Amino acid sequence: MPTILVKSGGEAAMPEWQRHFAEFAPDLAVRWWDDGAVAPDAVDYVLAWDPEAGRLGGLPNLKVIFGSGAGVDGITADPALPRHLPLVRMAPEGATQRMGEFVCWAALSLLKDARRMALNQAMAQWQDFEPERTAAETPVGIMGLGNMGSRACAMLQGLGFPVRGWSRTRKDLPGVRCFTGAAELDDFLSETRILVCLLPATVETNGILAAPLLAKLPRGAGLVNAGRGSHQKIEDIIAALDAGQLSGAVLDVFEKEPLPAGSPAWAHPKITVTPHVASLPSRRERAQYVARVIADFTAGRPLANLYDHARGY
Ligand code: NAP
Ligand code: GLV
């Protein structure tokens, strides 16, 4: 019987994983990552978010590695990662829908200044104010037009936002003004009133949400980061908020997670903190996705959503 080791959600999540895999891949043995009864050479597949460095390389019959998220930087950080094996990024249908919902919520929160209303409510203050613009007057710029970004574009358009997008290679998405590469980044930013980061963590994107980029946005722009904490320099974001260059930020990801109690982001009046929940597909959705890819692999069909070591995502 083929075996998958799972390290996602802790050992306590195993009964749930086993229940869902039993539905979609009844012939798969589903075992906890640290189950000492499983011999390393009996492991065919791994599903993990952040395996300890060196562990994957010690599984001689491993065939496919599954990231339990869309971003697999917690796996590729392993210097001894077996690079010859397929590394599959998580992309069930529900994940892009959830991200689209999060981005729409964040964009509307910034548009309506929901943070200000929440602070006023906490102080029992009835203070009416008018949002400066409508959605139709607020271009949203999405950095990253992959699985997550392209779905977010379509859902934002449904709310009436004009949408612009930026990616590494040229894209053509219905109704979206598309920009490509470093040469077109400034043009992309210049009319983006709400900037949304849905990039993967790579050498090129590391620290991209910093003072030089923020200065290129129109004054008073909003920021949403649902990519990775490594994309942002939090002190630059706070400085831009305090100076009025940014009017608000919704941050879902942080350099250190959980966000430490002492972080100035927690209490900042213009920052909404969410605990890395922009798109968390259910374990059932993920088990179904993994089972489908294992069926493809077993049948010799090509695998979708593979990590590409050359491009870094
Ligand atoms: P994806 O399908 O691989 O899309 C990545 C996009 O980023 C592509 O459009 C790619 O351009 C673009 N890109 C990469 N490097 C770039 C660069 N240097 N300059 C400009 N564009 C660049 O990935 P995805 O599934 O949409 O996920 C994207 C990221 O979202 C993940 O890696 C993860 O960090 C984050 N995420 C976060 C959560 C959360 O809950 N917060 C959930 C899911 C994902 P091309 O199209 O030209 O290749
Ligand atoms: C979550 O952050 C993911 O990459 O899926």
Query: Is residue 292 included in any domain, yes or no?
Result: yes
Average pLDDT over the chain, rounded to whole? 98
State whether 291 and 156 are in the same domain. Answer: no
39 and 159 co-located in one domain: no
Give residue 99's pLDDT.
98
Question: What does the pLDDT average to over 190-219?
Answer: 98
Q: Looking at residue 273, what is its pLDDT?
A: 98
173 and 52 within one domain: no
* Rounded distance from Cα 262 to ligand 1 centre (Å): 29
Percent of the chain, pLDDT > 90? 99
62 and 111 fall within a common domain: no
Per-residue model confidence (pLDDT) at position 89: 98
Same-domain pairing of 150 and 241 = yes
Instruction: Check if the beta carbon of residue 270 is closer than 8 Å to that of residue 287.
Output: no
**228 tagged catalytic:** yes
User: What domain range includes position 155?
Assistant: 93-273
Pair (65, 148) in one structural domain: no
Q: Are residues 135 and 228 in the same domain?
A: yes
DSSP the chain: --EEEEESS-GGGHHHHHHHHHHH-TT-EEEETT-TTS-GGG--EEEESSPPTTSGGG-TT--EEEESSS--HHHHT-TT--TTS-EEPP--HHHHHHHHHHHHHHHHHHHHTHHHHHHHHHTT-------S--GGG--EEEE--SHHHHHHHHHHHHTT--EEEEESS----TTEEEEETGGGHHHHHHT-SEEEE-----TTTTT-BSHHHHTTSPTTEEEEE-S-GGGB-HHHHHHHHHTTSEEEEEE---SSSSPPTT-TTTT-TTEEE--S-SS---HHHHHHHHHHHHHHHHTTPPPSSB--TTTT-
Q: What is the pLDDT of residues 16-71, one digit of tens each?
A: 999 999 999 999 999 999 999 999 999 999 999 999 999 999 999 999 999 999 99
- Looking at the domain assignment, is residue 125 inside a domain? yes
Tell me: do 235 and 292 sit in the same domain. no
305 occurs within a structural domain: no
pLDDT tier at 125, thresholds 50, 70, 90: very high
For position 188, which CATH number holds? Answer: 3.40.50.720
Q: Are residues 245 and 114 in the same domain?
A: yes
Q: Does pTM surpass 0.75? A: yes
Q: How confident is the model at residue 171 (pLDDT cuts 50, 70, 90)?
A: very high
Residue 311 covered by a domain: no
Ligand 1, atom 19, lies closest to the CA of 168
Whether 181 and 264 map to the same domain: the answer is yes
Domain membership flag for residue 116: yes
Residue 70 Cα to ligand 2 middle (Å):
5
State in Å: Cα 145 to ligand 1 middle: 7
Residue 308 lies in a domain: no
Q: 114 with 241, same domain?
A: yes
Testing ligand 2's pocket by substitution, the residue of 90, 97, 197, 257 carrying the most ligand atoms inside 8 A of its CB is 90
Q: How many domains does the chain have?
A: 2
Beta bridge partners, 177, equal: 164
Is there an atom of ligand 2 within 6 Å of 91 CB?
no
In a domain, 307, yes or no: no
Residues 37 and 173 in one domain: no
